[in-house]
Amino acid sequence: MSKPPAALEGITVLDLSTVGPATRCARILADFGARLIKVGVPPRKLGLQTQPAYWSYSANRGLEQARIDLKDPAGKAAFLALVEKADVVLESYRPGVMKKLGLAYDDLAAVQPRVVYCSTSGFGQDGPAALQAGHDLNYLAVGGFLHTSNRRGDGGPPIPGATVADSAAGGMHAALSIFAALLRRERTGRGEYLDVCVAEGVLWLTSLYVDQYLATGASPGPGHDVLTGRYACYDVYGCSDGKWLAVGAIEGHFFANLCRALGCEQWIERQYDDAVQEEMRADFAAAIAGRPRDAWVAELAPANTCVAPVYAIDEIASDPHFQERGIFCEAVHPEHGTFRQVAPAFAGMERPEGPVEVPDWSRTNTETLLAEAGVAPDEIRRLKEEGIIG
């Protein structure tokens, strides 16, 4: 039986971002099979843009690149030629920038009515905070994520170990919205404009707590309920080798299994008794501190206790479960050689069967792409000579 086509096969995406939520979104779209064309500034303006490390964002696997000066009228015309052949345009400039360039949604829809135009920004395209600069930590702050996280030693919220706002609240948010817009286009025949607000994506991530407040007046915070550290059954405990064990035994039967394995049967009937949580936590900590982490995992994980090792990043790559599921693949870079990376990870994405060639980002496909879009050879030559493309 032949393989089914990739979910986004035949879809062309122009991505004007370099880092952050939009670039996370672009990675998702590419790994679902879209043709992804990065549109950046020409070489003479490279210092104006952040240039990620060669290995970041999956080393740009499967991506093509065009470098065009969008501020130049001829560069703008060249970009619009690409838009005529595109399905999605993804941008992450400050609100208002694309309008000043004459490249807002209405401008693009005039040449390609079917285009899905997605703007990603920290606070959305309008509202009092729309023009405020920010990064992942700022969006997690205003969306309640930091406040509901357990405190660090000085009493302040912790800095998360992953860019949750960029990747989930922004990148996945944008990708899901684009999928929905493409489906809607099948019925309407027209594209649409998407205003992806990363802070609102964080608000959705914390909506269990926000909705609780809106419905009841209760103000959730660290230690408010089981998911924010109120109970000993849902915590992280140190082991004898200095490593950590995550315990998430929320259900009663899992908790009972855990108590028996730790020799703490006295707590089985008092799992959610607030009066004894600190004593219970101390007993669990004392028991778990007596053995190395991996010894506990070997015993407890198969025993239905909801435990997992807290891996350091260098441990993840050798985990046998991840290895067997093929979540890592090899990439081959023209300059940096062969290295491993996380393979396309979401359900429905095709994982590569062999090494993946990734591009040298110092080279572009601009001339080929513009030729495909119907730009005349003489015009391409002129644009290159004048430094408008590269």
Residues acting as catalytic residues: 135, 166
Contacts with 37 (C-beta within 8 Å, 6 or more apart), sequence order: 12, 13, 14, 15, 63, 64, 65, 66, 82, 86, 365, 369
Residues contacting 307, CB < 8 A, separation 6+? 245, 246, 247, 248, 249, 258, 296, 297, 300, 301
The radius of gyration of the chain from alpha carbons, rounded to an integer in Å, stands at 25
Query: In this structure, which amino acid lies at residue 168?
Result: A
Beta strands, E only, 207-336 = 234-238, 244-248, 307-309, 328-333
Q: Can you read off the two tokens belonging to residue 76?
A: 């703008």
DSSP symbol at 49: S
Count CB neighbours of 390 within 10 A.
20
CA distance 82 to 85: 6
List the end-to-end C-alpha distance of the chain, in Å, as a whole number: 43
The secondary structure of 118-160 as a DSSP string is: EEEESS-SSSTTTT----HHHHHHHTTTTTTSPP-TTSSPPPP
Tell me, what amino acid is at 374? Answer: G
Give phi and psi for 329, each to the nearest 5: -135, 170
- Distant-in-sequence, close-in-space partners of 13: CB < 8 Å, separation ≥ 6: 26, 29, 30, 34, 35, 36, 37, 86, 87, 88, 89, 90
